Each structure stands twice: as C-alpha cells, then as structure tokens.
Structure 1
Amino acid sequence: MWSYQTPAERGTILQVTSRPAAAQRLSDLAVLRRVRDRIDREYAQPLDVEALARGAHMSAGHLSREFKLAYGESPYGYLMTRRIERAMALLRCGELSVTEVCFAVGCSSLGTFSTRFTELVGVPPSVYRRQAVRATAGMPPCVAKQVTRPIRNREAPATEPQLA
C-alpha cells in the first residue's frame, strides 16, 4: 500500500528563502521590465506569452498575472498596443498600404489587425490614415507620436510599477 511521506520524514531538506519580500519584489520587477523591453524591441517578431515566459523563466500564467499587476495590462495587450502604435506611425507616413502595415508590425491576420486597431484607436486603419494626415500636418514626428499614442486601458495605473 502506498503512503505519503512528508519531506521531513523522507529526510529531505526544504530550502527556505530568507530574501526579504521587498528585495524579491524588486527582482520580479526587473524581470518584468526586461520582458517589457523585449516586447518594445521585438514587437514585429512572432511573440507569444509562452515565449516571453520561457525567456523570463516563469510560467505563462504567472508572467501574465505579474505583468498585469505591474503594468495594468497583459503582455499580449501590451504587445498589441505597441504594434498598433507603430502601425499608426506607418499609416501617418502614407507610403504603405494597410495590408503592408499590418504585416510590417508583426500581425499575421489583417482582420485581427483591423479589429484591434479599431478597438484601440476608435476608427479603422484606412479612416485613421485619412484623418491623421490632416491632423498631424506640419507637426514634427516626435510630437505627432506623443499626441496620437494609443492608450488601451485609461484606468490603468501609471506605466511604471510602484513598490508595494
């Protein structure tokens, strides 16, 4: 018959971390910032939460929960916001078609891209292109980027996490 033995009964020594909670939280925030930086750098690459989690040595669920707690949106939501932000800049330039912009920012489906774009910006990409050309005419690109930056979750806390 099978019986359960506790680690102490088996003679196993349990490792207990003596790290203070604040130090652990700082370490976790540093990992989350590296994940966010990777999304910012590689937004046009095929990224998914599992790949990001593997790079951070976490489970996908844990990464998603911690990222949302720190930044107010999921890693996928943040990735899509960056992609749409870059798409907005490309559409303002007017040199690429909507389909070309979709693939240039890392989206693999024009339908999903258009849906997310409309959800975040409020108008479809083709309408945005027409409106943005007039609205940002004569504006330096750095100012246009800041003024037209999409905000997915307006109720979210500041983009920089705070120590608890």
Structure 2
Amino acid sequence: MLRARDEMDRRYAEPLDVPHLAAIAHLSASQFGRVFRSVYGETPHRYLQRRRIERAMTLLRQTDRPVTDIAWDVGFASLGTFSRTFSTVVGCSPTEFRAQHAPVHVPSCFVAAWTRPREGAPPFPTQTAAPETAVSEKRGGAAAE
C-alpha cells in the first residue's frame, strides 16, 4: 500500500488509474480500493484529489501564475473541475484563497536595516565555551561535576 501511495505522491500531476496502482500493491483493483480506504481513511481518488489541491494551494501562495496554469500543472484536465474541487475542499475559490494568503510585501529598506551588522558586533558569531567543555558536559564528564 505504501508503494502505491508513494507513486501517487510522486506522480500526482499525471493521470493515474486504479488498476495501475493496484498492480503496484499486488492486489486486484477492487481489493486495492477497499484496503486503501481501510488503511488511509479515504478512497484513492479522494487522496489523489487532496494531494493535487494541497500542491495547488502552495503554488497559489508562492507564485503569481494564472489559476488555469496551476490547475493543469497539478493534474486537473479542466479549470471548472479544479475550481469546483478546490472550493469543496478548501471552502473558497482559488482566486479568493490567493487573495487571503498573499505574501506580505516587506520594503527593501527594512530588509537592509534588519540584516545590517550591529555596530560593535563581531562579524561572525563566536563560541562561548571551548568545544572540549561542551562535549564533557553532555557526556557527564569532569566538567559537569
């Protein structure tokens, strides 16, 4: 079962059918469906849909690519099916999700100020304890007493 699920995770964007997955698990198609549901709590089709939607959510948050391209990239054949499935699983449309989870823009001047070295600070972090002392303390040696 784990091999079949791993195959679904690896190839979520490709068309996968139950007979192919069942062959990986060395089961008949009907046995595969029953066993998969008992092990993972959902049907293979539902699992694959959820994985596709999870990937789409990541792409919607991290890119500005069109929703149609994302739908095709995660394995949906039509935008309508993708939007309907996304809304059912997530509770809002892909466009609404993107608007709600847009990354916050941080001005570059703030980033430069935040990452600038502090005045008087050493250029690199220094070690406060000698390496031998740190190892001895962890092992309960003489330094720990």
The answer to whether TM tops 0.5 is yes
Q: Which residue of 2 aligns with 1:119?
A: 88
TM-score computed with the length of structure 2 as normaliser? 0.68
Shift of 1:54: 2.6
Shift of 1:55: 2.6
Matched, 1:98 2:63: no
- Distance across 2 between alignment mates of 1:72 and 1:132: 29
Matched, 1:73 2:42: yes
Give the share of equivalent positions with the same residue, in percent: 49
Contact 1:94 1:129 in 2 (8 A): no
Matched, 1:51 2:20: yes
Give unmatched runs, 5+ long, in structure 2: 106-145
- Distance across 2 between alignment mates of 1:86 and 1:100: 13
Q: Which residue of 1 aligns with 2:76?
A: 107
TM-score computed with the length of structure 1 as normaliser? 0.60
RMSD (CA atoms): 1.4
Contact 2:86 2:92 in 1 (8 A): yes
Larger RCO: 1 or 2 (CA < 8 Å, sep 6+): 1
- Distance across 2 between alignment mates of 1:104 and 1:129: 17
Shift of 1:110: 1.3
Q: How many residue pairs get matched?
A: 105
Task: Specify the structure having the higher radius of gyration (Cα).
Answer: 2
Structure 1 runs of 4+ aligned residues shifted over 6 Å read none
